[in-house]
Structure 1
Amino acid sequence: MTTSPFVGMSARRTAIIGGLMVATGPLSLTLYAPALPSIVADLGTTDAGGKLTLTVYFAAFALAQLICGPLSDRYGRRAVGVGFFAIYVLGSLVGALAPTLEMLLVGRTLQGFGVSAGVALSRAMVRDQFLGMEAVRILTLVNLILTVVPVIAPTLGSVLMLAGSWHVMFAIMAGFGLAIIAMLGLGARETLPEAARVPLHPVRIAGNYARLLASPDFMLPALVQALAFGGFYAFAALLPFVLIDALGLTPFQFAMALLIQTGSFIAGNVVAARLARRLEGSQMIAFGLVLLAIGGAGFAVAPGLFPDSVLAVMAPVSFWMLALAAIGPTATAAAMSRFGDIAGAAGAMTGFLQMGGGFLASLLASALFDDARLAMMVLLPLLAALAIPTAMLHCRRAAS
């Protein structure tokens, strides 16, 4: 059902545009991942320097959403989206021309800032128009659409590494950003009517965020999502060093291994789309928790028992991605369901917590562990162990 007579876009168009916007984030990780060891070598830095390019990206991604959300509540989704993706394009061009690690860090920071609009605005656009399990189904379709980019990007990145320099990857990211701007300008419709827009006052913005942070109805599902996606971003940062450096895969073989991750996410979203027509939100989350527990246990045990096996790493990744497909849309819809009047701020805060989880996980992996495999074996089970009781508490509140 819609929240008002005003409907900016159909469910399908909302999902397609939202999915392509969100896909820019994974593109900036998966296209880039096969090049990380080469970037470390070319720029004369260390593995810690390479991981830092991911950390600043996550930090900018997380913090910028807190700016993007209120701006979109005031000026509308389309105009803010165009502005933020222009910043993403600028960051991509800086990365393409970067001769030093410092300049690359600047480019990655700008990229993270600009791409934050994808998560914040896609969720707000859904919440502007849809509620309940219909919103869950649309968010699941968004997930299905965004899987196309991670399927193509690692293979494309590996081919580019065989044919040329990693700098070209950033030029491709800039092109993708320009395509998103064109899509917003020509194909999108505004989903936030003028009458529903919120004045841009710092005190009111702070009050809206305080309202969200003080509400268990928002925070519990948002934290479940943050912990689950924090795990995804953690192993996205660690996998190149585990599979390429430790296990000796070539960039192309690494891209082929990542097909297990992407295939699992696609399969999970297909199953989740069907289950969303039959199950309640709490049942969807419970299903995802079982898969998350299996994935967390697999990370804790399998890489140590089979240190030379790619499958020992990718099987837990597969279960984790299946869990994300069930948990992500349901937790997002649950967190935002009561906050339609500040949908931009609510979408931004869910994205901030989600990317904040990725930032903290990647930072801890860099700061506390010299060995990427050990970081994976410790951090991922810990995140699963935190997500499960948080989700159970949310489901208990929802049931009561």
Structure 2
Amino acid sequence: MTSPSTSQPMSARRTAIIGGLMVAAGPLSITLYAPALPTMVADLMTTEAMGKLTLSVYFGAFALAQLVCGPLSDRFGRKPVAMAFFALYVLGSFAAALAPSIEMLLLGRALQGVGVSAGVALSRAMVRDQFVGSESIRILTLINLILTVAPAVAPTLGSVLLLAGSWHLLFVVMAGFGMAIIAMLAWGARETQPVAAQTPLKPSRILANYGRLLASAQFMAPALLLAIAFGGFYGFSALLPFVLLDDLGLTTFQFAMTMLIQTGSFITGNLVAGQVARRASGLQMVRIGLVLLVLAGLGFAIGPRLFPDSLFAVMIPVGLWMLALAFIGPSTTAAAMAGFGTIAGAAGALTGVFQVGGGFIGSTLASVLFPDARSAIVTLLPIMAGLAVLAALWRRISARPVAEAPPET
């Protein structure tokens, strides 16, 4: 169903394609260079902990920048703000490509994180500007499906690029992808937010709108579930290179092939979820995802301990987790934003903060609390699966229809 507040300047397909490519920059900036992490650590003469910090810095900037990106888009429109932020992403990519030290690499990663924040926050706002209800869930599902294309080919592409050159080349490729997104926005996208709906950029209003979202159980319950589910994904994305390459001794190319299990599961899950969404409610979609998430958590807790040398003891739980995300992600995102169309930019930004912030917390805890990646993956992921169930129970208790309300003044 099309939102009554807009004249639908873009079709559902165009919105999904543009939104999907914007969002894809986020995981692309993780999975493309993941095979190079051990090499980068050795090349820059730093430690494994500092290598993981390049992920934590990226996640932190990614999460926090959305708090600024969303309100800016509510004031100036989705399209110009998205183009400006992706320009920062390109700048950060080149800074990382030319980095002579770990400090410069961290700076480049921080700029990349700021830039890609526009992908998550503004793609959701673009959907909410134009569509509501089951149609918005289907579009978000399609965005998730498009999102899987870049991570599916990125590890393999990264491995091939490493055979052809150094890890610096990976960041040049990221810069090229960022420039392609800017060109797509310039010539293929239309502004989805009506001029009349643009709100003044006042700090007091921004804080009041965020406070309104944080005080709403309708927003917080699905946002927390989204944070935990995707936090687990970003958490094991940071850990898998060290588990598979260092502990199990895979080559870079074998790692790339193994990661197709992860992306293949996500693609399959999105295809199935897209069909199920036509007949099932959002709550039913979440229930299916939770069952898969619990199975994944049990798999992480048991499999690597019973079969420490088995690749599939690690990757089967990874596949189950990715299947779960396909069912949980679109439904919880749509539920979190459903009653906040007048501040869709802020709502989209804050859901992104929760989603990526979960990854920041997960990857940071994995680096700080555990002696190695294997210990983290068999302990942290089962805990997060249990927390997801608790968040879903709160979501069910607090789920009530809420009428659209105007933003705070």
The alpha-carbon deviation at position 396 of structure 1 amounts to 3.5
Question: 1:284 corresponds to which letter in structure 2?
Answer: M
The alpha-carbon deviation at position 169 of structure 1 amounts to 0.3
Query: 1:317: which partner in 2?
Result: 318
Query: 1:53: which partner in 2?
Result: 54
Question: 1:111 corresponds to which letter in structure 2?
Answer: Q
| Residue pair 2:218, 2:400 contacting (<8 A) in 1 also | no
Query: 1:137: which partner in 2?
Result: 138
Question: 1:16 corresponds to which letter in structure 2?
Answer: I
Query: 1:2: which partner in 2?
Result: 2
Separation of aligned partners in 2, 1:194 and 1:58: 32
Task: Please identify, of 211-220 and 158-167, the stretch whose mean Cα deviation from structure 2 is larger.
Answer: 158-167
The alpha-carbon deviation at position 399 of structure 1 amounts to 6.8
* CA-to-aligned-CA distance 1:110-145 (integer Å, 9 cap, x gap): 000000000000000000011111110000000111
Query: 2:121: which partner in 1?
Result: 120
Task: Please identify, of 205-214 and 381-390, the stretch whose mean Cα deviation from structure 2 is larger.
Answer: 381-390
Query: 2:404: which partner in 1?
Result: none
Query: 2:406: which partner in 1?
Result: none
| Residue pair 2:221, 2:398 contacting (<8 A) in 1 also | no
Task: Please identify, of 356-365 and 5-14, the stretch whose mean Cα deviation from structure 2 is larger.
Answer: 5-14
Separation of aligned partners in 2, 1:184 and 1:44: 39
Separation of aligned partners in 2, 1:173 and 1:191: 27
Query: 1:148: which partner in 2?
Result: 149
Question: 1:151 corresponds to which letter in structure 2?
Answer: A
Q: Give secondary structure in 1 for the equivalent of 2:278.
A: coil
Q: Give secondary structure in 2 for the equivalent of 1:144.
A: helix
The alpha-carbon deviation at position 392 of structure 1 amounts to 2.2
Query: 1:218: which partner in 2?
Result: 219
| Residue pair 1:36, 1:240 contacting (<8 A) in 2 also | yes
The alpha-carbon deviation at position 371 of structure 1 amounts to 1.1
Separation of aligned partners in 2, 1:388 and 1:122: 27
Separation of aligned partners in 2, 1:394 and 1:105: 37
Separation of aligned partners in 1, 2:378 and 2:329: 23
CA RMSD of aligned residues (A): 0.8
Show structure 2 runs of 5+ residues with no match.
402-409
Separation of aligned partners in 2, 1:204 and 1:397: 26
* CA-to-aligned-CA distance 1:49-90 (integer Å, 9 cap, x gap): 100000000000000000000000000000000000000000
Question: 1:2 corresponds to which letter in structure 2?
Answer: T
Question: 1:75 corresponds to which letter in structure 2?
Answer: F
Question: 2:143 corresponds to which letter in structure 1?
Answer: V
User: Number of residues paired by the alignment?
Assistant: 400
Question: 1:102 corresponds to which letter in structure 2?
Answer: E
Question: 2:26 corresponds to which letter in structure 1?
Answer: G
Q: Give secondary structure in 2 for the equivalent of 1:8.
A: coil
Separation of aligned partners in 1, 2:88 and 2:369: 32
Instruction: Give the structure-2-normalised TM-score.
Output: 0.97
Separation of aligned partners in 2, 1:8 and 1:126: 11
Separation of aligned partners in 2, 1:58 and 1:342: 24
Question: 2:376 corresponds to which letter in structure 1?
Answer: A
| Residue pair 1:8, 1:192 contacting (<8 A) in 2 also | no
Separation of aligned partners in 1, 2:104 and 2:390: 42
Q: Give secondary structure in 2 for the equivalent of 1:142.
A: helix
The alpha-carbon deviation at position 283 of structure 1 amounts to 0.5
Query: 1:201: which partner in 2?
Result: 202
Q: Give secondary structure in 1 for the equivalent of 2:200.
A: coil
* CA-to-aligned-CA distance 1:306-362 (integer Å, 9 cap, x gap): 111111000000000000000000000000000000000000000001111100000
| Residue pair 1:282, 1:398 contacting (<8 A) in 2 also | no
1:94 equivalent in alignment to 2:95 = yes
* CA-to-aligned-CA distance 1:163-185 (integer Å, 9 cap, x gap): 11000000000000000000000
Query: 2:161: which partner in 1?
Result: 160
Separation of aligned partners in 2, 1:34 and 1:290: 31
Structural mapping, 1:25-64, within 5 Å? 25-64=26-65
Query: 2:351: which partner in 1?
Result: 350
* CA-to-aligned-CA distance 1:249-297 (integer Å, 9 cap, x gap): 0111001010000000000000100010000111100010000000011
The alpha-carbon deviation at position 305 of structure 1 amounts to 0.7
Identity value in percent: 69
Question: 2:21 corresponds to which letter in structure 1?
Answer: L
The alpha-carbon deviation at position 397 of structure 1 amounts to 3.2
| Residue pair 1:220, 1:394 contacting (<8 A) in 2 also | yes
Separation of aligned partners in 1, 2:61 and 2:398: 33
Where has structure 1 moved over 6 Å in runs of 4 or more? Answer: none
Question: 1:259 corresponds to which letter in structure 2?
Answer: L
Q: Give secondary structure in 2 for the equivalent of 1:36.
A: helix
The alpha-carbon deviation at position 370 of structure 1 amounts to 1.6
Instruction: Give the structure-1-normalised TM-score.
Output: 0.99
Structural mapping, 1:331-350, within 5 Å? 331-350=332-351
Query: 1:362: which partner in 2?
Result: 363
